[in-house]
Structure 1
Amino acid sequence: MHLIVMITAVVAAQWCFVGSAAGAVGGGEFYRGKVIRIVVGFSAGGGFDTFARTVARYMGKYVPGNPSIIVDNMPGAGSLIAANHIYRAAKPDGLTIGAFNGNQILGQLVGAQGINFDARKLEWIGAPGYNHDLCLLHQRTGIANAEQWLTAKAPLKLAGSAPGATTDDVAKILKEAIGLPMRLVTGYKGTADMRVAVESGEMDGLCGFSWVSVRATWRRAVESGQAIIMLQSAPKAHADLPKVPLTISFAKTPEARQLIEAGVHQPGAITYGYSLPPNTPKERVQILRKALLQAVKDPDLLNDANKANLEIAPASGEEIAQAIENMFKTPPAIVAKLKETLK
């Protein structure tokens, strides 16, 4: 009898040890001595890159085991290359975070070519900010406001990255919804390259440029009057931009309003979402969710963000996942119209 009790106790202790070891590997001890990569789908110097590098400096100290966090730029196809990489190639071990344009999820909704991921199967850990889309023109165009642009006889050249990028999709949607006179010239690696093109006279401006990015990378041009903000494509005006008209105010039909809401407003809420590959261990997902939300409250991060003119407005991983689920509930007729518009 005593022998059976002793054997049972030993087996129980062994199972407890195995369970504890597994928990340690899945959690904090797993990250000790490791390196986490944030794969940014755009070139260095743009808003996505600036956000990621700011987060990378502080997030590691909130992950048990204090791993190093580095940024790896993987530009191309409006960040679609990075999105597909996170879904198809990255190991689901909690060491690779995707920072691609959430607008690519709109591409999945409308069945765009090249989409090799399912956003609903990715693990979302949160976002450091949201996308408050703007349209800007260079002062050399001679156009001072949205009303003048909408009545322009010749289309203006807008810089874009690739189908699925905010710069491309927003411009196309606004052309369809409110008749914005524009000609899209796509192929730039990111907004850093687009800014150079606009400043050199190669392009007239761009749409789908987030106020977060403008604040961080192009504020001097705006404050000097070199770059003029024409429109803000968001549900409500930003506190910093009370006099800039809302794009949706120029929509003349219910369908036009729905196109802007489904194609611009909804994706804007998830643009800066950070994701992990499908099947990443749930414990590591929760660790990184918690670490990101702690990092974006860090006083030193907030100080750095303020110096870089970054606006920190975090969303949780759960909020991003729910927003994506809501996007896939868009009425079929609007999805069909968006597909036609974005082709």
Structure 2
Amino acid sequence: MERVRYVGRPRTGKEDHPMRQRMAALIVTAFLFSVAAPSVFSQEPFYKNKAIRIVVGYAAGGGFDTYSRTIARHMGKHIPGNPAVVVDNMTGAGGIIAANHVYKVAKPDGLTIVNWIGSLVIGQVMGHKGIEFDARRFEYIGSPVRNHDTCVLTKGSGITSVEHWMAAKTAVKLGGVAPSATTDDVPKILKAALGLPIQLVSGYKGTSVIRLAAEAGEVAGVCGLSWASAKSTWGKGPGNRRRSGRAAECSETPPRASQRSSGHQPCQDRRRTPVHRDRHP
């Protein structure tokens, strides 16, 4: 298994724009409720002996799946009636299949949650094909974590810094999930805005699958992965524990003036934001 190096995503000067923070790469968790659903949380009989399902739009082992299973492990203890909470991975189309399913098929009865990437909201605005949900029927209710987008590359890629990457003679092959996913959007932005040599290979079922592809040498890594997910999943395994100091500084400390001038920048800040699902017509 190859060791990996973490390359921080350069700043674009728009990191603190409030709309970017809310929309660009947030994770959306949606509750389906009926009109009377807000009152059922106080009614223990409603959730007693029932199960809440968390539908994850991506493969097991990735960041979305990890957060969902962590929440599922504890959530039932904090709901009157102590319902069971189960996770259901429904992969495909970068989370669109899961989002469409919950919006169109799942009953709005307070028993279904969907975990999908918030950039699909932008996909709806842009008219991307396949989106059949109305994101306006969701409203934000909180954020479990704050993330920083990173690029994670294997040692075999030969890339040790952003400067080294920009000078590369051949395109670096990156894995992606689907249009509107940060794994696809971030590489496209980096290529268009900074001229980074990138070849995007899209269509993987999730970042955990991209990680396996990187270990097998199919791709060199991934961009648009949260730092929290990267250090907990891409840093595991034999020979896979070293991280560059550059990445650690990128995500966890402000850059010094000398780092700014050399191209070293903190990663893009973003939030994983749950939203409350309103009833749809």
TM-score normalised to the size of structure 2?
A: 0.74
Which of the numbers 123, 137, 142 marks the counterpart of 2:158? 142
User: Are 2:237 and 1:224 aligned?
Assistant: no
Q: Hey, what does 1:34 align to over in structure 2?
A: 50
* Percent identical: 48
Contact 2:255 2:264 in 1 (8 A): no
- Structure whose alpha-carbon radius of gyration is higher: 1
Q: Secondary structure at the match of 1:85?
A: helix
In terms of fraction of residues, the more helix-rich structure is 1
Shift of 1:92: 1.2
User: Are 2:103 and 1:90 aligned?
Assistant: no
Q: Name whichever of 26-35 and 152-161 sits farther off.
A: 26-35
| Alpha-carbon displacement from aligned partner over 1:54-100 (angstroms, at most 9, x marks no partner) | 11011111111111111010111111111112222221111001111
Over aligned residues, Cα RMSD in angstroms?
Answer: 3.1
Q: How many Å separate the matches in 2 of 1:160 and 1:24?
A: 40
Q: Secondary structure at the match of 1:157?
A: strand
| Alpha-carbon displacement from aligned partner over 1:16-59 (angstroms, at most 9, x marks no partner) | xxxxxx95687433112111001000111111111111110111
User: Are 2:220 and 1:207 aligned?
Assistant: no
Which of the numbers 136, 145, 149 marks the counterpart of 1:133? 149
Q: How many Å separate the matches in 1 of 2:233 and 2:253?
A: 16
Which of the numbers 132, 135, 139 marks the counterpart of 1:119? 135
Q: Hey, what does 1:273 align to over in structure 2?
A: 273
1:187-336 pair list within 5 angstroms: 187-220=203-236, 224-225=241-242, 237-239=250-252, 268-269=270-271, 272-279=272-279
Instruction: Specify which structure has the bigger relative contact order, considering alpha-carbon pairs within 8 angstroms and separated by 6 or more residues.
Output: 2
Contact 1:86 1:276 in 2 (8 A): no
In structure 2, relative to structure 1, the CA distance for the partners of 1:25 and 1:39 (3 Å cut) is closer
Shift of 1:111: 2.2
In structure 2, relative to structure 1, the CA distance for the partners of 1:147 and 1:76 (3 Å cut) is same
Contact 1:90 1:277 in 2 (8 A): no
Q: How many Å separate the matches in 2 of 1:31 and 1:163?
A: 37
Which of the numbers 104, 114, 123 marks the counterpart of 1:107? 123
In structure 2, relative to structure 1, the CA distance for the partners of 1:168 and 1:231 (3 Å cut) is farther
In structure 2, relative to structure 1, the CA distance for the partners of 1:131 and 1:107 (3 Å cut) is farther
Q: How many Å separate the matches in 2 of 1:142 and 1:229?
A: 16
In structure 2, relative to structure 1, the CA distance for the partners of 1:242 and 1:224 (3 Å cut) is farther
Contact 2:56 2:98 in 1 (8 A): yes
| Alpha-carbon displacement from aligned partner over 1:322-341 (angstroms, at most 9, x marks no partner) | xxxxxxxxxxxxxxxxxxxx
What one-letter code is carried by the residue in structure 1 that aligns with 2:220? D
Q: Hey, what does 1:74 align to over in structure 2?
A: 90
Q: Hey, what does 1:52 align to over in structure 2?
A: 68
Contact 1:136 1:230 in 2 (8 A): no
Q: Secondary structure at the match of 1:130?
A: strand
Q: Hey, what does 2:173 align to over in structure 1?
A: 157
Q: How many Å separate the matches in 2 of 1:26 and 1:88?
A: 27
What one-letter code is carried by the residue in structure 2 that aligns with 1:151? A
Q: How many Å separate the matches in 2 of 1:70 and 1:241?
A: 39
User: Are 2:195 and 1:179 aligned?
Assistant: yes
Q: Name whichever of 23-32 and 209-218 sits farther off.
A: 23-32
The count of corresponding residues between Structure 1 and Structure 2 is: 237
TM-score normalised to the size of structure 1?
A: 0.62
In terms of fraction of residues, the more strand-rich structure is 2
Q: Secondary structure at the match of 1:220?
A: coil
Contact 1:157 1:184 in 2 (8 A): yes
In structure 2, relative to structure 1, the CA distance for the partners of 1:37 and 1:69 (3 Å cut) is same
Q: Secondary structure at the match of 2:136?
A: coil
Q: How many Å separate the matches in 2 of 1:64 and 1:77?
A: 35
Contact 2:121 2:135 in 1 (8 A): yes
Shift of 1:276: 4.9
Shift of 1:106: 2.1
Q: Secondary structure at the match of 2:135?
A: coil
What one-letter code is carried by the residue in structure 2 that aligns with 1:144? T
